[in-house]
Amino acid sequence: MARRVEDPELAFRLARAIVSDIALYNPDKVEEGIKNDNIFDLLAEELQEGREHFAERVSETLENRDQLFDRAIVDVMIKQAGKIESSIW
C-alpha cells in the first residue's frame, strides 16, 4: 500500500484537487446548487466519493483531517461560485 499523506499542507492541496475535479465535472449541479442553496444535497454522492478518496490517501493521524476536506469545499466550490446569482449572498 502506498504511503499516506501526513503533511497538512499537502493534504489540503489534495483535498482542493479532489473538490476541483468534482466542480469541473459537475458545473450544472454546482450552479443549480448555489442558486437554490442545496449544493450539498445535489452533490452529496460526488462529495462523499471525494471524501472517501481523500480519506484513503491521507493519514488517519493527521489532525483536523475532515476539516481540511470541508475547507476545500468552501474554498474551491463555494467561494468560486460567488458570481452565480443566489439568495445565499
pTM score of the predicted model: 0.86
Phi then psi dihedrals of residue 88, to 5 deg: -80, -10
pLDDT of residue 8: 94
**Gap between the Cα atoms of 24 and 73, Å rounded:** 13
pLDDT of residue 34: 84
pLDDT of residue 79: 72
| Selection from 75, 60, 67, 62 nearest residue 19 by Cα | 75
Q: What is the pLDDT along the chain (89 residues), one digit of tens a residue?
A: 578 999 999 999 999 999 999 999 999 999 898 888 899 999 999 999 999 999 999 999 998 898 999 999 988 887 766 666 655 54
